[in-house]
Structure 1
């Protein structure tokens, strides 16, 4: 059995998940990349030394069980995989609601359960990736925001119950991130509005979110559990405050 630390990252074929896997690999961890996109997963895994690819839809309990049965060790599980579809509440039918919950919440739960025997052995950690939409409500995100709020609560449940095994559980809530997908669908008007609402006046990068995840998995965070870290440029801190009022206007 390998003595190197092992991290499994879900939704690792692109975006924050891939950046996180790359960050772990750069620090000498052995990385397992899990994603349902087999073609993209095969393309990116070849660029990481000693990495393993697992093709899996995390909303499928049997597929999750089969994937985790291939592991020999696990020190950190990063539950990053998620889906999003935005629209008004009245347009969110139950099938769409369940599709989002099945991956974002059920998948996070299923992977965490499957990882427990390994994490008990290693006294490892779980890092769940939620969203700023789980901390503050936003229009057009009824299923997505609710699923991510549930992931935050799941994290706290995990921390409360698994601490006796030496397992830590924390959550990262990314704000707006400059991913290829976001830039493809965000108009300049939306980009400008986000810049105005975020104290740092910019989107985050995938690497910046990955750095927060990797910190929580590291020994530097050995006494941190049950915490929710908003990696959001200060977005959550502004609440409902108007950007113009932050400039000192009466």
Structure 2
């Protein structure tokens, strides 16, 4: 996926509603939330965020709408937008939904695997292994999300994509603290998923995806209440002084 510089888009003459600008602003706000630079409960004031990102209020407003739909932001009547809190129950609810959607996505992707191939999935795996080798752990949550979205795109079912992709994106909140400890297991599981999808074996692809979600859920439950501390440690290790 190409990287677009926010500063270049901000100066673009096409206007504040340029979809690419909104997409970049949304991605940056999502990153700030995931990395706890905008902690849960933070009041999202459009003017301040626009000044911070060097854009007008319009793309910020549109980005907040997108992030609200994804569950990262909550709107409180007469008070405004705030970064959402991810409770233990929220995480469990996410796993329940993932357990239903991701095995289905893998099954449908396997149906198309022999025809489409899995080059995009393999490319994400390569990027992740490079990031692991170079200690770029902060890139991994995004790559996990990109991998799972790639599977949903291979499924070629627009109804599934509409439901699944916001869930997959919000699940980054759950992935982030596990990146250091679970990364080798995560990407081994992803490689297995890509292989089963490429083989066209629908049942095995579905089973592999289910096992992957179950392993992630087990890791989350083992970690318990220490998620925020682990996330903070990851951020510190990725940005040495």
Larger fraction in strand:
1
Which is bigger in relative contact order (C-alpha 8 A, separation at least 6)? 2
Shorter-chain TM band: under 0.3
Larger fraction in helix:
2
Q: TM-score, normalised by structure 2?
A: 0.26
